[in-house]
Amino acid sequence: MPCFDKKLEAAREDFYNETFSAREVDCVITSVEVEQMLVRDEVELVTLSPCCLDGDLSSGSQLTSHPGSSSGGYAHSIFIKAAKELFNQEIDDLQWKILR
């Protein structure tokens, strides 16, 4: 996650699942913390050999870019893509129901 707000969200009591006696988020690492780990371990990205990403991350621009302005826009794109790929349904407009 690019910001520390996700850490605060993950720590909230309503992100605890009573059924499984577990938190819904295991760990949040911000981009700043990733950079700090790379610096600490003296890893320079330009010196690493490129490698292929797995299928979920390299499936094309439909999932890596979206028309939304935040994570909600990204989730919207994911649901529309999943409806097409999993159920062969074209969806133009999603109706969201807030549960929390």
What tens digit of pLDDT does each residue of 38-57 get? 999 999 989 999 887 665 55
What is the DSSP secondary structure assignment for residue 54, as one 8-state letter? P
Is there a domain that residue 71 lies in? yes
Is residue 76 in a domain? yes
How many residues does the structure list for the chain?
Answer: 100
Residue 20 pLDDT > 70, yes or no? yes
* Residues 58, 21 share a domain: no
pLDDT band at 88, cuts 50/70/90? very high
Q: Are residues 45 and 3 in the same domain?
A: yes
Alpha carbon 19 to its chain's center? 24
58 shares a domain with 30: no
Asked if 68 and 37 sit in the same domain, the reply is no
Residue 33 and residue 56 in one domain: no
Residues 1 and 45 in one domain: yes
Residues 6 or more apart in contact with residue 74 via CB below 8 angstroms: 66, 68
* Average pLDDT, rounded, for the chain: 78
Residues of the chain above pLDDT 70, percent:
75
80 and 59 in a common domain: yes
- Residue 30: domain span: 1-49
Examine the domain organization and report whether 21 and 57 are in the same domain: no
Same domain as 39, residue 9: yes
